[in-house]
Amino acid sequence: MQHDDIIPPWYKQFWPWFIIGILVFAVVIGLGLLFIALANQDSMVRDNYYKEGRAINMHLGRDQMAEDLRLSSAFTVDDLTGEISLTLDGELTPLPADLQLDFISPSHAERDRTVLLKRVSSNQYAGQLPEAMQGRLYVDLSDPINPGETGWRLTDEITLSAGQTYRLSAK
């Protein structure tokens, strides 16, 4: 007499369900990561690399123009009111009526701010930040009337904090 072991059907065994469970878990995790990636897009990625590359030469010319004019500036930001006081020195004649001061966040484009500074005396300018800012920022000071290749700019990287004077000079 022969004794046969009865083998249960596949759906009653452990290993097929274990393997199916791993596959289902991988699909759920993948869909979750896809949702997170689509909901929180990175704002640092630039779409137009060609245009950005062409702009590098223009920026280098603006830096050279600032160096030729021996431009430098110093500015402070009032913590309570957000008022910016800036002094512009150099061989720039006539002095512009307005200056543009850009605060650029290295990681979040929505934190970038542009402040238009009005001349209040011979080489003194003043403007108002719309909201308080802190942390590491790139600053770009330029004449809004002469953008591009005909203009100049002063740039630097600063850490904005209370009660400091920041200096920008041509590099």
CATH of the domain at 84: 2.60.40
For residue 126, which of 76, 92, 165 has the smallest C-alpha distance? 76
Which residue do the tokens 């452990």 mark?
14
pLDDT of res. 2:
63
Residue 102 lies in a domain: yes
What whole-number distance in Å separates Cα of residue 22 and Cα of residue 48? Answer: 41
pLDDT of res. 81:
82
Radius of gyration of the chain measured on its C-alpha atoms: 29
* Residue pLDDT, tens place only, 113-148: 888 889 888 888 988 888 877 788 888 888 887 776
Residue 26 lies in a domain: yes
Instruction: Say if residue 168's pLDDT is above 80.
Output: yes
Number of domains in the chain: 2
Residue 65 lies in a domain: no
Beta strands in the chain (DSSP E): 72-77, 83-89, 98-104, 113-119, 124-128, 135-142, 153-160, 165-169
What tokens were used for 44?
């640092």
Enclosing domain of residue 141: 71-169
Instruction: Say if residue 51's pLDDT is above 70.
Output: no
Name the pTM for this structure.
0.64
Give the pLDDT mean for 31-55.
71
Residue 42 lies in a domain: no
Q: Do 31 and 90 belong together in one domain?
A: no
